[in-house]
């Protein structure tokens, strides 16, 4: 399971909507394996394919970061079918290291997609899992948590990030 480099803020693939997966084949299985390995190595609780430079609608989430195999979620072509309420907690992003913000998220979501075998999978989530789903679903739509902040905070952070992009992200 090769660990792939994580693409940083400013790279085009992170700021454009990803394409749906048409067929779940060996290439998608390999992609999912690499995404899980990369998420655990980071370490992080979620990763979307664009974060390793692949513009496909594929996400992985594991709140236990590998400690509990039951918690690993791998979804192809996920979509949010229900959302309600609101919560606000600090979030970071592996593609924006060193920065955090508190975007408004729904307090409860229902997410539907395909599992690695191509079977329909549905998850109802609240609290941290709901935030993780929202964060990763945003990634496949080309949105980052920064884009969800209030205009004042967003502009401030984007100014700082543009400077970081010009100077280059150090590894």
Residues that are catalytic? 136
Q: Work out how close the CB of 145 gets to Zn ion at its nearest, in angstroms, rounded to a whole number.
A: 7
Largest CA distance in the chain: 45
Cross-strand partners of 88: 104
Between 93 and 111, CB nearer to Zn ion: 93
Provide the sign of the torsion angle of the four alpha carbons 68, 70, 76, 81, taken in this order.
negative
**Helix, strand or coil for residue 76?**
strand
Question: Quick one: which of 21, 31, 73, 93 contacts Zn ion (CB under 5 A)?
Answer: 93
Indicate whether 140 belongs to the interface with Zn ion (CB under 5 A): no
Q: Which of 87, 89, 96, 75 is nearest to 144 (CA)?
A: 96
Stretch that binds Zn ion, among 55-63, 66-74, 85-93, 101-109 (CB under 5 A): 85-93
Q: What is the size of the binding site for Zn ion (CB under 5 A)?
A: 1
Pairing mode, if any, of strands 46-48 and 58-61?
A: antiparallel
Q: Work out how close the CB of 46 gets to Zn ion at its nearest, in angstroms, rounded to a whole number.
A: 7
Q: Which residues bind Zn ion (CB under 5 A)?
A: 93
């Amino acid at each position: 399971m090769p660990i792939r480099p994580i693409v940083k803020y400013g790279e085009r693939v992170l700021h454009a909507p990803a394409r749906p997966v048409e067929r779940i084949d060996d290439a998608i299985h390999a992609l999912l394996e690499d995404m899980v390995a990369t998420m655990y190595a980071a370490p992080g609780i979620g990763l979307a394919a664009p974060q390793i430079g692949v513009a496909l609608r594929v996400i992985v989430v594991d709140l236990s970061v590998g400690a509990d195999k039951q918690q690993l979620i791998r979804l192809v072509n996920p979509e949010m079918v229900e959302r309600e309420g609101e919560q606000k907690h600090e979030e970071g992003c592996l593609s924006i290291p060193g920065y955090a913000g508190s975007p408004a998220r729904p307090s409860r979501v229902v997410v539907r997609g395909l599992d690695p075998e191509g079977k329909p999978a549905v998850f109802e989530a609240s609290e941290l899992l709901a935030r993780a789903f929202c964060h990763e679903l945003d990634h496949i739509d080309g949105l980052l948590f920064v884009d969800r902040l209030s205009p004042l905070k967003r502009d401030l952070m984007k100014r700082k990030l543009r400077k970081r992009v010009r100077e280059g992200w150090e590894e």
